[in-house]
Amino acid sequence: MIKIHPTAEVSKKAIVGNKTSIWNQAQIREKAKIGKNCIIGKNVYVDFGVIIGNNVKIENNVSIYHGVTIEDGVFIGPHTCFTNDKIPRAINPTGSLKKSTDWNLSKTLVKKGASIGANSTILSGIKIGKFALIGAGSVVTKSVPDHGLVYGNPAKLKGYVCYCGARILKKGKSKKCQKCKRKITT
């Protein structure tokens, strides 16, 4: 069963998986694909053609624009914004309003299990690796490796994290996480 709040706007041309909840004032555009068992928070905007995997949690006031793919098990904190144009302009050099054919789409991929902290901005054309962790308020301008811990403006690699999110101090060695005891190689 899909739960859609009465104030949410979900295109009939969108695909929404079973057991997904879409909360108040969310907007899901045409050809968007949302997997099973997801939570789409209040006032979330999912642009046309966006792909969202299973078991994804998207907090309130997130904007996800065309060209973004989000894999399974991703967390996106409140007020996060994804961009899709490296050189945004409203008008062409002639002064005419840009049309959809007048700009170049830059695709973004968020891999399985990644977490993005509140108020982050994700610039277009990058990849956020599996189980990476983006600190709150970060501006991500470059791709993030699997299990990478980044934060700041611009976000910089500060270390690595386990599947559980606990910090792992050294790269390149197999280590056992002190928190969950799982072995990980970065």
- Given the structure tokens 């005891």, which residue do they identify? 181
Dihedral of the CA atoms 125, 141, 184, 169 (nearest 10)?
Answer: 170
Q: Which of 5, 66, 79, 147 is catalytic?
A: 79
Buried b (16+ CB within 10 A) or exposed e, 148-166: bbbbeeebeeebbbbeebe
**Is-catalytic flag, 79?**
yes
Q: How many C-beta atoms lie closer than 10 Å to residue 89's C-beta?
A: 10
Question: Which two three-digit tokens encode residue 38?
Answer: 């997801």
**Listed residue (35, 72, 76, 38) closest to 59, CA to CA:** 76
- Looking at residue 134, its amino acid is I
Show which residues are catalytic: 79
